[in-house]
Amino acid sequence: MSIKIIPQQQLEQQTINSVIRQIPLLFYPLPKTLYIRRAKRLKELATKSTFSDYLNFCATIAEQQANLVKHNPINIDIVNIENSEYPPLSLANLPLSTFWQDYLSQLLTLMTNTTEQVMSVIHQLKQNNTQQLQEKALHLLNGEFKCVAGNEAVFIWSALSVYYCQLASQVKGKAIAESTDKNWLCPVCNSMPVASVIQLGSNNGLRYLHCSLCESEWYVPRIKCTSCDNMKDIQYFSLDNQLAAIKTECCDACHSYLKILDQDKDPHIEIVADDIASLILDIKTEEEGYAKSGINPFIFAQ
Ligand SMILES: [Zn+2]
Ligand SMILES: [Zn+2]
Ligand located closest to 213 CA: 1
Domains annotated for the chain, with CATH where assigned, are: 31-170 (3.90.1670.10), 184-292 (3.90.1670.10)
Give the pLDDT of residue 18: 54
Give the pLDDT of residue 157: 98
Of the ranges 20-24, 170-174, 247-251, 263-267, which is most confident? 247-251
**Whether pLDDT at 223 is above 90:** no
Instruction: Give residue 164 CA to ligand 1 midpoint distance, Å.
Output: 8
CA separation, residue 24 to residues 9, 28, 152, 293 (Å): 20, 11, 36, 24
Give the pLDDT of residue 198: 93
Please state whether 31 falls in left (phi above 0), alpha (psi between -120 and 50) or beta. Answer: alpha
Instruction: Give residue 293 CA to ligand 2 midpoint distance, Å.
Output: 9
**DSSP-based three-state secondary structure for 248:** strand
- Picking from 244, 227, 228, the residue whose alpha carbon sits closest to that of residue 281 is 244
Instruction: Give residue 39 CA to ligand 2 midpoint distance, Å.
Output: 32
The per-residue pLDDT for range 176-207, each reduced to its tens digit, is 877 766 668 999 999 999 999 998 876 668 89
The terminus-to-terminus CA distance of the chain in angstroms comes to: 33
Give the pLDDT of residue 229: 82
Q: Which residues surround ligand 1, an ion (CB under 5 A)?
A: 186, 188-189, 191, 211, 213-214, 216
Instruction: Give residue 47 CA to ligand 1 midpoint distance, Å.
Output: 30
- Taking the C-alpha atoms of residue 158 and residue 249, their distance in angstroms, rounded to an integer, is 26
Contact 125, 155 (CB under 8 A): yes
Instruction: Give residue 215 CA to ligand 1 midpoint distance, Å.
Output: 6
**Whether pLDDT at 11 is above 70:** no
Give the pLDDT of residue 75: 75
Q: Average pLDDT, stretch 84-112?
A: 92
Instruction: Give residue 187 CA to ligand 1 midpoint distance, Å.
Output: 7
Instruction: Give residue 217 CA to ligand 2 midpoint distance, Å.
Output: 20
**Whether pLDDT at 14 is above 60:** no
CA separation, residue 98 to residues 74, 127, 134, 212, 256 (Å): 12, 16, 7, 20, 34
The per-residue pLDDT for range 130-179, each reduced to its tens digit, is 999 999 999 999 999 999 999 999 999 999 999 999 999 999 888 887 77
- Taking the C-alpha atoms of residue 121 and residue 138, their distance in angstroms, rounded to an integer, is 19
Q: Which amino acid is at 190?
A: N
User: Mean pLDDT over all residues of the chain?
Assistant: 90
The proportion of the chain whose per-residue pLDDT surpasses 90, expressed as a percent, equals 71
